[in-house]
Amino acid sequence: MSATLRAGWASGSIATPATRERITAALAVILTSGVQAGSLRADVAPEDVTMLLLGVFLSTTASDSPERAGQLLDLVVDARRPSASRKG
C-alpha cells in the first residue's frame, strides 16, 4: 500500500485537494466504525490521521524495508486506540 501511495504522490495523481478529501472521507467511515465498536478513540480527527499517514508514506523510501513502514503504521494505529486513562 505504501509503495502505491508513494508512486501516486510522486506522479501527482494524489496531490490534489479533492483526492485528499476522498481519502479523509474514507478514513472517517473507518474511524467512525472503530469508535462505535469501542476499538478507536473519538478525539482524533480523520484529517489528523490522513496527515499521519502521509507522513509515514513520505518519510519512508523504496529502499526502506517493508517492516519499517509497517512499524510506523502500527504506531499510527496504536495512537488511535483508547486507553484506560484516555476515554473518548
Which of 50, 48, 52, 62 lies closest to 10 in space, CA to CA? Answer: 62
pLDDT score of 36? 94
Stretch among 31-35, 58-62, 66-70, 75-79 having the lowest mean pLDDT: 58-62
Tell the residue number behind the cell numbers 486507553, with chain if given: 83
What string of DSSP letters covers 77-88?
HHHHS-BTTB--
The model scores a pTM over 0.75 = no
The CA distance from 7 to 62, in Å, is: 10
CA atoms within 13 A on the CB side of 86: 12
Query: What pLDDT does 88 receive?
Result: 47
- Reference 32, options 53, 20, 46, 48; nearest CA is 46
